[in-house]
Structure 1
Amino acid sequence: MVTAENAAGSTTARVDIEVRQTPAMPAGLTYRETAVVYTVGEAIAPNAPASSGGPIATYTIAPTLPAGLSLDAQTGVVSGTPTAVTAQTSHTVTGTNAAGSTDVALHITVKAALVAPASLVYSAPKVLYVATEAIVPNAAQTTGGPVTTFTVAPALPAGLSLNAQTGAITGTPAAPQSLAAYTVTAVNAAGSVQAQVQIATTARGSWAPATTIAPARHYFALTRLNDGKVLATGGYTAGGVTSSAALYDPATGTWAPTASMLAARNGHTATLLLDGRVLVAGGSDTARNGVLLTEIFDPVANTWTATGSIAEPREWHSAARLPNGKVLIVGGHTSQPTLNFSQTAELYDPAVGTWTTAATPLTTPRSQHAMELLPGGNAVLVIGGVNRNGFVTTAEVFSVDGTSTTSMPIGIQGNLFRSVMLADGSVLTLADGSTTALRFQPATSTWTTSTFAATRALPTLTTLADGRVLLAGGGNLNTAEVFHPDFDVWTTASPMATGRRAASAVLLNDGRVLTVGGFSGSGEVDASETYLP
């Protein structure tokens, strides 16, 4: 008994004391983590033991811990920073006191230090998809450390998604869109790496019928006026060459006759002047006589007025309105009284209503060629065509002031060439009888090629509002294809209802393409159709 007291009183308590010969043996040794994976260079969270039974006096371990790790002999705590990769190893920790010992196995692996992803590439870094059609998954490939997650900015086009674990781009794009860049970021705890994917989405488009044009015709001209209406002039009909003209109103989708030209003609040009009037030049009549008379249509007054005549007859020539408002015509041919191919150019001045023949002729006479005004407005590119010797296999850069011309070879030939100007200032051209298209870069005077699917005779070629190009018809085909300047590739478009060649086409203000007339195996085509990109 133990008694405690002071002046005021006392209290007692009983204490039972047992004295043994030796301490109790430790039992039940455990660790917070018994199977762990550490990383070289990363300090570990101290791994402390717990036990039951008698207190442990000392701890030992066998085999030795991986390099950089240590066991505290008094506390049994495993700590440190591993310095070398080690395969999984079983280490036995033994806790000991005077009465005995107990042990536990620790399974330790040391993996290599985490490194940041080193590179990220996509199987298709620049790709064109088709709206409403499932894409081939675009896979990501990385080097360096393993990637934890992938992200993309800005958001991918509607219908496409990025797999956050694999980085793959999959899905079905919902709508067309222009080429845009998307940055994909691959991340892990050690860092990140980025790659850019460029994506554009096209569409097959669709065709809708418009009212027929009367009379049905081919080898005629279409000109979009400033108010958005479209003027059709002349052409070849079942009754021969016509002087008739008609206006198409996109708002109503209908054709209405307008005042007839002063002269019947086909194979002519019709050029919109700066003041909104239309200059018609060249062509031939039913007897294949060349038409020297040029005339101007005033859409406000609905009248045709004669203006200065060209110096020589020419049909299937080319025309371009220059930045100063003048009109340049180049080449062409006449059939009567003999077949003759022109080597000259003429310049029309609307201010005085007269034509002036350029001082410098073309290097090569040519007709049924293509022509585009080059950036800067100082020269035109004249491409291909035919002459008395057959197909013309050259192009010329002809100065609009008629003082010089430079000839160069081209890689295609055909009976008739078509061309359009692209948004970057390059020129796309193609010829009958070939599936190769050429693209001319004015800055370097170089040509590149692309290949479309079908051989076409007298097709239409029209630049769309978004910079793509529609190729339609030709021969008796009703098929169509679209050129994508960002990729130099062609894709299949929806077909027209009517197969045709020698039709005319024009881009409307609302982005549709109006395709009119033409010729089929059974005669002139009166059908009009509009293409919605």
Structure 2
Amino acid sequence: MVARWHTAAIVAIAAVAAIAAFAFLPATNNDPAAWIAGKDMPTPRTEVTGAFLDGKIYVIGGFDGAGEAVATVEVYDPQADKWSNSASLPEPLHHAAAASYNGKLYVVGGYYSDGSASDRLLVYQPGSDEWSDLDPMPTARGALAASFVDGALYAVGGTSFFGSAPLAANEVYDPEGGWEKKAPMPTPRQHLASASLGGKLYAMGGRIDSLASNLDANEAYDPALGSWAKLEPMPSKRGGVAAASSGAIFVFGGEGPAGTFPNNEKYDPSNGRWTSEPKMPTARHGLAAVALDNKIYVIGGGPVPGLAVSGSNEVFLPDE
């Protein structure tokens, strides 16, 4: 069934392979010194998720170059510039979401190999190198986003089956009390990104269905108020993006009908403004972005729309 999903994607790759991906929104600051290269990920993948734990970066699941979902978990040590293997997921997943908190790594949702959505919430214990199940998410979905805010895991958006209508779901997991449904996002979407900063959850970009339905939505959920606010839209409409917070929120990559995006756009909640930052050296979608020690590691993803993979590990150095 995976091969059937990606027939159109493979055609799309052939159609756009010669298109310059860098034809999208120009960055106001294109200083190449803002990016450095890390060692490439051993297993090139797309539609991955990632998070940090104990000073290392975990890149989880996704598709391999044959379009097969994988359970692979590879761990990057920035200090040594080396990769290692960790315990694989209990089963292959793509389009899942990951976040870390209090010395544990959490993976929620995603799609199985048959395209159905997972409701599993998995937790990884580094001491035992084992995964285990926690309470399942109320709404099974993939192509979602997830972030911890003040000790609670928020899972937003996605779809209930690969290619189905987008959801506005906003469900929160409290490690001390289980799951609870919260106010839905104003804009239902999939292939979005999320990040937390200043006690709020930010949901950015995504799409409705096709690559032509990309969104510039930027919405923030305030747990204290239990409500969403619509904020200044992203400068570019993008789905298949990744985001990380390091003083501000940075949104990387994405794909559209004409190619992949190298865009790196910064949102500063303190003034409500977006700025275009130095572009990614390698335009990609379905990537992971993980902030650690004042750097943002942008790993994996597809260099052209649809099924394409890379092991790229590019490190962004935000201005201090």
TM > 0.5 between the two?
A: yes
CA distance in 1, matches of 2:246, 2:292: 17
Identity of aligned residues (%): 19
The answer to whether residue 233 in structure 2 is matched with residue 412 in structure 1 is no
Q: Which letter maps to 2:237?
A: Q
Structure 1: stretches of 5+ with no match in the other structure? 1-127, 131-201, 453-468, 476-500
Q: How many residues align?
A: 278
Q: Is the 8 A contact 2:264 2:280 kept in 1?
A: no
- Which of residues 351, 357, 362 in structure 1 aligns to 2:176? 351
> Within 2, Cα distance between the matches of 1:515 and 1:393?
21
User: How far has the Cα of 1:257 moved from its partner?
Assistant: 2.4
TM-score w.r.t. structure 2 length? 0.72
| Secondary structure in 2 matching 1:243 | coil
Aligned to 1:504: 288
Decide which of 49, 53, 61 is 1:221's aligned counterpart. Answer: 49
Give CA deviations for 1:273-329 in whole Å, capped at 9, x if unaligned: 12x110100110121110111110000111111001111122221212112x11111
Q: Deviations over 1:220-278 (max 9, x none)?
A: 1222212x22222211113611122233334544333222212321111111112x110
Q: Pick the aligned partner of 2:161 from 325, 331, 335.
A: 335
Kept in 2, the 8 Å contact 1:399–1:405? The answer is yes
Once the two structures are TM-superposed, the CA of residue 369 in structure 1 deviates from its matched residue by 2.1
Amino acid at match of 2:166: F
Write the distance in 1 (CA, Å) between the matches of 2:265 and 2:300: 27
Amino acid at match of 1:254: K
**Which structure has the bigger radius of gyration?**
1
User: How many angstroms apart in 2 are the aligned matches of 1:220 and 1:357?
Assistant: 26
Higher relative contact order, chain-length normalized (CA < 8 Å, sep 6+): 2
Aligned residue identity for 1:341 = P
State the alpha-carbon separation in 2 of the partners of residues 283 and 399 from structure 1. 25
Aligned to 1:524: 309
Deviation, structure 1 residue 449: 4.4
The superposition leaves residues 43-90 of structure 1 with CA deviations (integer Å, 9 ceiling, x where unpaired) of xxxxxxxxxxxxxxxxxxxxxxxxxxxxxxxxxxxxxxxxxxxxxxxx
Shift in alpha-carbon separation, 1:387–1:293, aligned structure 2, 3 A: same
What is the DSSP-based 3-state SS (H/G/I as helix, E as strand, rest coil) of the residue aligned with 2:136?
A: coil
CA distance in 2, matches of 1:439, 1:204: 14
- Contact 1:393 1:409 (C-alpha < 8 Å) held by counterparts: no
Q: Is the 8 A contact 2:245 2:291 kept in 1?
A: no
Task: Please give the alpha-carbon distance, in whole angstroms, between the structure 1 residues aligned to 2:76 and 2:268.
Answer: 35
Aligned match for 1:384, one of 199, 205, 210: 205
The within-5 A match list for 1:11-26 is none
The within-5 A match list for 1:9-88 is none
Q: Which residue of 2 aligns with 1:260?
A: 88
How far off is 1:372 after superposition? 2.7
Quote the offset at 1:398 in angstroms. Answer: 1.8
Per the alignment, in what secondary structure is the counterpart of residue 273 of structure 2? strand
Distance 1:129 1:240 in 2: 36
1:341-371: CA deviation from partner (whole Å, max 9, x where unpaired) = 111101111124x21111x222221112232
Cα offset, 1:508, TM superposition: 5.2
Distance in 1 (CA, whole Å) between partners of 2:223 and 2:189 is 17
* Superposition deviation, residue 129 in structure 1: 12
The equivalent position to 1:298 in structure 2, one of 125, 149, 152, is 125
CA deviation after TM superposition for structure 1 residue 213, in Å: 1.8
Residue in 2 that maps onto 1:125: none
Code of the residue aligned with 2:170 in structure 1: it is A
Name the one with the larger helix percent. Answer: 2
Q: 1:373 to 1:523 in 2, by over 3 A?
A: closer
- Higher strand content, 1 or 2: 1
* Contact persistence 1:259–1:302 (CA under 8 A): yes
In structure 2, what residue type is equivalent to 1:517? G
Aligned AA (1:207): A
- The Cα of 1:396 is off from its aligned counterpart by 2.1
SS at match of 1:203: helix
Contact 2:300-2:313 at 8 Å conserved across structures: no
Q: 1:438 to 1:311 in 2, by over 3 A?
A: same
Structure 1 residues 414 and 513, CA, compared in 2 at 3 Å: closer, same or farther? closer
Counterpart among 24, 33, 40 of residue 203 in structure 1: 33
Distance in 2 (alpha carbons) for counterparts of 1:306 and 1:129: 44
Question: Which portions of structure 1, spanning 4 or more consecutive aligned residues, are displaced by more than 6 angstroms?
Answer: 434-437
1:242 aligned onto 2:70: yes
